[in-house]
Amino acid sequence: MTRIRPRLEAFAGQMLGPALRRAEQRVNGELYLRGLLTDGARKSMQPMAQRLGVDHQRLQQFVSSSTWDYATVRANVAQWALGAVSPDAYVVDDVGFPKDGDASPGVARQYCGALGKTGNCQVGVSVHLVTDTASAAVDWRLFVPESWDDTTTKDPVAAARIRVRRARSKIPDDVRHVQKWRLALDMLDEMTATWGLPTDRPVVADAGYGDATGFRLGLTARGLSYVVAVKPTTSAYPADAVPIAPAYTGRGRPPVPRYRDDPDNLHTLVMAAGRDALRQVTWRQGTRRTKGNPTAKMRSRFVALRVRPANRDIPRAHDGSLPTVWLLAEWPPDKDEPTDYWLSTLPETTPLKTLVRLAKIRWRIEHDYRELKTGLGLDHFEGRSYQGWHRHVTLTALAQAFCTLLRLDPKADAPA
């Protein structure tokens, strides 16, 4: 830490300076970052303060009650990552924070990826700027379950109980229960419209987001392309399907063009294309060498088809047609049928290898969450305020950005 501290102080000043106006705040911000970056099993305030040799109340006051805007820090990290990481995609995901008790804001019995099952946890939704070699978690939202929103119940006693919990956690009145995919759209709006990040990078997400038609339509409405995982049961027509208007009898309104048959699902469309349509694609270099793959190349077989997703929420053109998108499916050699499916609005000229590489780039998020949790204490926050949670995850993401800075330029001289 002694050797890299000058670089940390310079980086912290660059990222925190515009948000922390007082010198004491900037000192405490750099102190908190040092606590997150210093070796230790726990990165909650008391253990960090003990290792730093300071009173833990100093850290607690900085995170919980000091006046500073964490959104400004996130914007600074995002602008830095745009240049340093040069992202290929914006990746949306969420992560669970297992908890004991019911006092932490947003805690509820819900699916927790960290546990691999339903459990008592908080869930944070995040957006990352990603390449295959570097990434940065730049924006966060704490998911608020219905059990933390008094407007979702008609029981006055339950509503009053929820209001007490919200007040105790200092959850702002305008923060309500919304779906995770809507939180993701809110963050993408903030990143592009407020922070000025470009809209020419595709959004990548798993089926928890891709299966939401509203999420896909929302991305398109914002001018953002996407590569998102979906279920094989998603309905779609082949690209060459054409809506036909029934003959007009001359009475009433002319009939609207429509597709004659019901749509198939993605699994059926890929199976109809058959194994002959598959192509082997290598999308990146891995690390696990085996006798069958001594070079550790990540490769499998894929097929890409043009299709028209179909449901009542997708707008149709004036001729009744649905928009065409890419359907990408992975069908490994040792499997009897495809294992994974994605939809993408990338241009029709996009090479298959590019589709595959972007669909698979989500692996980088697992790296982020692992580093943020095991190395930097993302899930060690023991405070019970909504603002405190957001400040802690912001500072943890800033600590990870500093680690990325060191990896990208490990031999650079420390600033004077």
Report pLDDT for 256.
82
Alpha helices (H) in 171-290, listed in sequence order = 180-189, 207-210, 213-221, 266-273
Tokens 């149709």, residue located: 316
CA distance 373 to 121: 15
Helix (H) or strand (E) holding 416: none
What b-and-e string marks burial along 109-121, b requiring 16 or more CB atoms within 10 Å of the CB?
ebebeeeeeeebb
71: exposed, middle or buried (Cβ count in 10 Å: 0-12, 13-18, 19+): middle
Helix (H) or strand (E) holding 316: none
Report pLDDT for 414.
41
pLDDT tens digit string along 41-66?
899 999 999 999 999 999 999 999 99
Report pLDDT for 12.
95
Helix (H) or strand (E) holding 301: strand 297-309
DSSP letter (8 states) at residue 151: G
Report pLDDT for 412.
55
Q: Copy the structure tokens of residue 399.
A: 């600590």
3-state SS of the chain: helix, strand, coil percent to 5?
40, 20, 40
Q: What is the DSSP string of 101-142?
A: SS-STT-EEEEETTTTEEEEEEEEEEEEEE-SS-EEEEEEEE
Q: Going residue by residue through the chain (416 aa), what tens digit of pLDDT does each one get?
A: 778 899 999 999 999 998 998 999 999 999 999 999 998 889 999 999 999 999 999 999 999 999 999 999 999 999 999 999 999 999 999 999 999 999 999 999 999 998 999 999 999 999 999 999 999 999 999 999 999 999 999 999 999 999 999 999 999 999 999 999 999 999 999 999 999 999 999 999 999 999 999 999 999 999 999 999 999 999 999 999 999 988 777 777 878 888 989 999 999 999 999 999 999 999 988 877 777 777 778 999 999 999 999 999 999 999 999 999 999 999 999 999 999 999 999 999 999 999 999 999 999 999 999 999 999 999 999 999 999 999 999 999 999 999 999 999 866 544 33
Report pLDDT for 29.
95
In angstroms, the Cα distances linking 239 to 113, 305, 324, 328 are 36, 8, 6, 14
Non-local (6+) Cβ contacts of 22 within 8 A are none
Helix (H) or strand (E) holding 212: none
By the 8 A CB rule, do 389 and 105 touch? yes
